[in-house]
Chain A
């Protein structure tokens, strides 16, 4: 409808305000949900890149980075000999404090056997650890603290030399540091003790079969996807409520901005709408008119918001690489849908104002 467009473009400032309002709201929604999606993705990367599809850990210990899971070499041996197991890769993992020259950083120290796997999946520079006291550290962490290949690093009072930098290994808190399994076990004063075993079933054997087959007292086996899901839920418990609240607030602010702008524009044109009613425009047509104004503003704002979100996300990632912001297509669709809902909600108050307008009022 021509009139809807003209009414909007007639008040430039208003149009800019309402589009900006929606854009900022949509951008905020996308960044917040992108931040959450980034955290989820980070939490899952290690497991996704670890070998195998079934995880074996101490009974009841599903977060083996924080609270420790202890598996003896006997457990490893019996897992290896379980029928249907093609490969079993043990790792030892321990949260550790890195003493960096300027401050302390939390890291997940992973001890692995280079021959079997469980180590860094993408090396940005250097090589994997070969000797004791060699480590690979996360590239982002290294960049932030001036660590480079050949630098010395103190972990739990032990001296290490950085031989490689890994990519894609930062965490929302801390980052991964990889070292040889024995070195880590020695450092933890627990030789031969593992945290988890990644199991690859033989061809034709399902994860469920393996989970059932590994029946060792005090030990639990579960599909890797379960573990990823459990980690996800753990993060969700921490983040979903506050981020959800912020997303909700962003949405409401968006609705209020468009609503207020369209509402004041409608009230200001009250006499014009009244004249249209007197002339014979149906209420339904008038509602469509204001809804369309809200829709145009919201869609323009939504698209601008998506663009802004991508721009700002790129900027944030450049400035703070440890906080990845992952804008997923689903989130974009949701944000655009949210802007449409904003438009409809925003049109309610003005539509009510118009409905309450008596056609005879134009003569006052």
Chain B
């Protein structure tokens, strides 16, 4: 795999024409850097899936260009796209979309074979990846025999097998409980950081934002200002900084989900003042904040 940059420039997608036309994505630009994890969030119908599909060369933009390291994907014909989808992108779907008639090993190996691997080599490679993802004991199982989290790990193995530069995932945790969802997200983060792949995730799930390097907010087909999120130091909830209840202490701002949490925080500060460990609380809260703030600083949005 070589590190590739995906460059989306002034891309618009309109479905249908005339009176019934729907503009799902309007003049959106963004660039994905190697080993970057970008999370695209936004309300339902805001165009997230449409944008992701265009980024993965599954859908032609109505206007604008999408370049993968200089190659304009948006100019290629439908016949030229399958090899690019096969080798440059790894797709992860909300409902896994594994082939129900094949064992998980075959599911993964098939994709390597499509890319030209010999059967034996493909099986070996698939075995290695599945084993690394903790599925070594399940190789001959049919997908229906696996739990949701296991299925999604198979899907991740399938997305990885051809060594793609980019992983594109649409709601990868929507069908998983939050603990498993988080595990999957950490796995994706590890893949991005250890293997240098870019990961683009579309999600509604607020709980996964802390693994992203950059969070983009799509609304009505456009990126809105990136909302900086932070963690309520009392209850641990992720809150929007600009809308949160806040308090400033010693030149530093703290954000809370509610007035109740702020009161509790202030109360604790007061009691810890007496106990003398005030600085510890401030430090803990501060460090979480700093981490998220740096994530937000890198993020940029175009509108």
Contact = CB atoms under 8 A, between A and B. Distances in A.
Contact of B56 (A269, A275, A278): A278
B-side interface size class: 20 to 34
B110 A362 contact: no
B87 A360 contact: no
Contacts of B84: 280
Contacts of B58: 278, 358-360, 362-363
Contacts of A271: 95, 97
A78 B94 CA distance: 96
B170 interface: yes
A360 B83 contact: no
B82 A281 contact: yes
A162 B277 CA distance: 127
A148 interface: no
Interface string B91-135: 101110111111000100011001100000000000000000000
Nearest to A11: B101
B190 interface: no
A293 B30 CA distance: 43
**Taking chain A's interface residues, is the majority helix, strand, or loop, or is none over half, making it mixed?**
helix
A281 B85 CA distance: 9
A173 interface: no
B26 interface: no
A282 interface: yes
A229 interface: no
A274 interface: yes
A79 B114 CA distance: 80
Interface stretch (A1-9, A29-37, A68-76, A244-252): A1-9
B49 A364 contact: yes
Residue from the set A277, A278, A280, A362 with the largest chain B CB neighbour count within 10 Å: A280
Given A278-B85, A279-B91, A280-B84, A360 B110 contact: no
B114 A360 contact: no
Interface in B37-70: 49-50, 52-53, 56, 58-59
B158 interface: yes
Contacts of A278: 56, 58, 85, 91
A274 B97 contact: yes
Given A279-B85, A280-B82, A359-B58, A6 B102 contact: yes
A16 to B, nearest CB: 16
A9 B145 CA distance: 17
B59 A10 contact: no
A2 B87 contact: no
B86 interface: yes
B30 to A, nearest CB: 18
| Size bin of chain A's contact surface | 20 to 34
Contacts of A6: 99, 101-102, 106
A362 B87 CA distance: 18
A1 B158 CA distance: 19
A265 to B, nearest CB: 10
Contacts of B50: 360
Nearest to A285: B114
B108 to A, nearest CB: 11
Contacts of B94: 363
Nearest to B93: A362
Contacts of A364: 49
A269 B83 contact: no
Given A2-B106, A363-B53, A269 B85 contact: no
Nearest to A7: B101
Contact of A279 (B101, B102, B106, B111): B111
A279 B100 contact: no
Contacts of B106: 2-3, 6
Contacts of A279: 85-86, 91, 111, 114, 158
A3 B99 contact: yes
A3 B106 CA distance: 9
A3 B86 contact: no
A362 B53 CA distance: 10
Contacts of B98: 272, 275
B124 to A, nearest CB: 16
B93 to A, nearest CB: 6
B93 A280 contact: no
A272 B93 contact: no
In this complex, the member of A9, A274, A275, A358 whose beta carbon has the largest number of chain B beta carbons within 10 angstroms is: A275
A27 B156 CA distance: 48
Contact of B99 (A272, A280, A358): A272
Nearest to B88: A280
Contacts of B59: 358-360
Contacts of A363: 49, 52-53, 58, 93-94, 170
A280 B52 contact: no
Nearest to B94: A363
Contacts of B115: 280
B126 to A, nearest CB: 13
Nearest to B52: A363
B102 A362 contact: no
A329 B118 CA distance: 41
A277 B82 CA distance: 8
Name the residue among B100, B101, B111 with the largest chain A CB count within 10 angstroms: B101
B134 to A, nearest CB: 22
A2 B103 CA distance: 11
Interface in A227-285: 269, 271-272, 274-282, 285
Given A2-B110, A360-B50, 5 more contacts: A6-B106, A276-B99, A281-B114, A359-B53, A363-B94
Interface of B: 49-50, 52-53, 56, 58-59, 81-87, 91, 93-95, 97-102, 106, 110-111, 114-115, 158, 170
Interface of A: 2-3, 6-7, 9-10, 269, 271-272, 274-282, 285, 358-360, 362-364
